[in-house]
């Protein structure tokens, strides 16, 4: 184990997990968090979020990050698969190639 990895493990071990979770939750729901708009714009760019799929495509319209993160989508944005033999996974994610064969 190299020194950088060891340092990260120790740092994670020492962090106050419950307090950190509460702080992140508070910031996600806070409407007066000064970096809210910057974080939302960064998230959209970093994760290539297609805002044209949202009912409200303007990121500035969301009062807090949690509202943006749980935004409603247009009905036609994610049609539910009707074909037999296909898997429907209602998640905003990326499909990865199977690593262990067919499911």
Q: Which region holds residue 101: left if phi is over 0, alpha if psi is between -120 and 50, else beta?
A: left
Instruction: Report pLDDT for 39.
Output: 85
Instruction: Report pLDDT for 86.
Output: 79
Residue pointed to by tokens 């949690």 = 66
Instruction: Report pLDDT for 93.
Output: 65
Instruction: Report pLDDT for 52.
Output: 94
Instruction: Report pLDDT for 45.
Output: 93
Mean pLDDT, all residues of the chain: 82
The answer to whether 33 touches 66, Cβ cutoff 8 Å, is no
Non-local (6+) Cβ contacts of 75 within 8 A are none
Angle among Cα 56, 57, 59 to the nearest 5 degrees reads 95
Please check the confidence at residue 13 and state whether its pLDDT lies above 90.
Answer: no
């Amino acid at each position: 184990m190299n020194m950088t990895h060891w340092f990260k493990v120790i740092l994670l071990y020492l962090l106050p997990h419950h307090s950190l979770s509460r702080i992140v939750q508070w910031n996600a729901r806070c409407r007066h968090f000064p970096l809210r708009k910057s974080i939302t714009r960064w998230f959209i760019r970093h994760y290539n979020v297609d805002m044209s799929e949202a009912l409200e495509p303007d990121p500035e319209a969301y009062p807090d990050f949690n509202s943006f993160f749980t935004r409603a989508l247009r009905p036609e944005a994610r049609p539910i698969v009707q074909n037999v033999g296909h898997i429907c996974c209602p998640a905003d994610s990326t499909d990865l190639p199977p690593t262990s064969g067919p499911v």
